[in-house]
Amino acid sequence: MANVEMISMTEAPLEAVFLAAKQCRYHTGVEELIGAPEYHMQQLVKKVLDSGHLSILEHASIGVCITDVSRVTTHQLVRNRTSSFCQQSGRAVDFSQGELGDTPFHQR
């Protein structure tokens, strides 16, 4: 069974996305925007996303460690990339002690 563990997260994701959106669309300094009311941030982010400007979402992130999945699963995650990935190397890591998992897929 897959194991997913969160290892990092943007501290204030709505504010990060709001600041990115505001910088892209308006002539305002960041220092003037910090501490904006949450409702105002939500309104602007929704407006920008509704216009199709989705790249502002990349300013908020979450880091996860996914283990105990098949190579097929990792290839699908990377192929359908909506994120950035680092994958444990099958060439650089010594799996000679049978650490590939105990699923029938991994048994030889």
Mean pLDDT, rounded, for 58-75: 86
Does residue 92 register a pLDDT over 90? no
Q: For residues 45 and 14, give the distance between their C-alpha atoms in angstroms, rounded to a whole number.
A: 8
What is the reported pLDDT for 47? 93
- Higher confidence at residue 50 or residue 104? 50
What value, to the nearest 5°, has the Cα angle with vertex 17 and ends 15 and 19? 65
Q: For residues 50 and 65, give the distance between their C-alpha atoms in angstroms, rounded to a whole number.
A: 31
Residue identified by tokens 């216009």 is 51
Q: Which residues contact 89 (CB under 8 A, 6 or more apart)?
A: none
- Higher confidence at residue 93 or residue 21? 21
Q: For residues 16 and 90, give the distance between their C-alpha atoms in angstroms, rounded to a whole number.
A: 36
